[in-house]
Amino acid sequence: MTDFHCFWTAARLALNGTDPYDPARWREEIGGPFPDENGGVRPAPCPGAFGYPLTTAVALIPLAPLSEPLAAAIWEALLVAGAAFGVFFVWSAAGGSRSTLPLFAILVGCSQPLWLTIINAQFGGLLLGLLGVIALTARGANEALAGVALAALTLKPHVVGLVFPEVIVRHARERRFRSLAVFITITAALLVVSLVLVRGWPTAWVGELLTTRREMLPSSGTVWGLATDTFGDGRIGVLLVLAVVVPAAWTLRGVRISGSDRVALAVTGSLVVSPYAGSHDDVLLATAWAVILAAATRRSDLAGRLLLAGLLLCASLLPWALYAYAVRSRPDEATAWLVPASTALVLAAAIRARARAGAG
């Protein structure tokens, strides 16, 4: 069973007006344990209760009346298509050349986060496509589409949290009120429908976050999980975050940052501070990898080669190595946080290097 089983079950419950945050009803509907590929059994991938806002389940209601195999096939097709379009969109937004697009597609296509998000049937591929739309429309084109994409990101808001204030503030400053109106309208509609179907779900959802999801925190690929696992105190994660944010901000001082750069920085920053995430969510770092590769291919000097080496480390070597380490030597993937942390530093260096090349 994949994570899609959780999403599909929650959508079915929401369609019937049943509370997916009721632990007893959730266990009854979710089933398990399930047989795995090794002949053993494993528990359901979503213990406790539904871990997402009910608006996520409401958005997936069109899949609820379908059989699970058919719904899963459609979902996987959406993930693959979203990832493919996302790769093209973020590369175009970064100003990458057409001749280098295949290289970027191979880089993302062979990355551990993309493979894992498809295997787990997680949201990553779809979210990457949405982020690609937002990055591509950062210059002001197609405001309505940007608003739709921003609203759709609420499917999994905790891994893209900083994208919302970045886009909202930038669009308000640029007087792009149509995109904001579309975003507010869709988000409000999802909230209203979800409240009609299951009254009082926000309180139940917060309760789930403070119980089961909090207990799962040390095993997640976040700075808080790494700090808890390594130092025994999640609060030390603040120091780890500062160890990334301070040098990145120092590197970017005085540098002009484009709209697509801001989206990449917001996505990367979201994963650096996210309260809950898995290594599969790191596929969203493709927004940053595109900026890094585009900057690296514009230079033929040592700086360009160093950026390329940093990119290969962040997008390929480190994710696969940490995943292999987690599978063989530890029961969690807390060390996966090192991927967005290192990507943030290389991204800042790439933006500055591109600015220097433009000034020269």
Local confidence band at 299 (pLDDT 50, 70, 90 cut-offs): confident
Amino acid 346: pLDDT: 97
Local confidence band at 42 (pLDDT 50, 70, 90 cut-offs): low
Tokens (6 digits) for 73: 């096939």
Helix (H, G, I), strand (E, B) or coil at 35: strand
DSSP count for the chain of H helices, then E strands: 19, 2
Secondary structure in 3-state letters for 56-69: HHHHCHHHCCCCHH
pLDDT digits (tens, 9 = 90+) for 236-277: 999 999 999 999 999 999 888 888 899 999 999 999 999 888
- For tokens 């057409």, the residue is 98
Map out the domains of the chain as residue ranges.
68-359
Is the pLDDT score of 65 beyond 70? yes
Please give the average per-residue pLDDT across 106-126, as a whole number.
94
Residue 35 phi, psi dihedral angles, 5° rounding: -70, 145
Tokens (6 digits) for 280: 């599969």
pLDDT digits (tens, 9 = 90+) for 135-145: 998 877 788 89
Distance (Å, rounded) from C-alpha 340 to C-alpha 34?
Answer: 32
In this structure, are residues 360 and 350 in contact, taking their beta carbons and an 8 Å threshold?
no
pLDDT digits (tens, 9 = 90+) for 170-211: 999 988 899 999 999 999 999 999 999 998 899 999 888 888
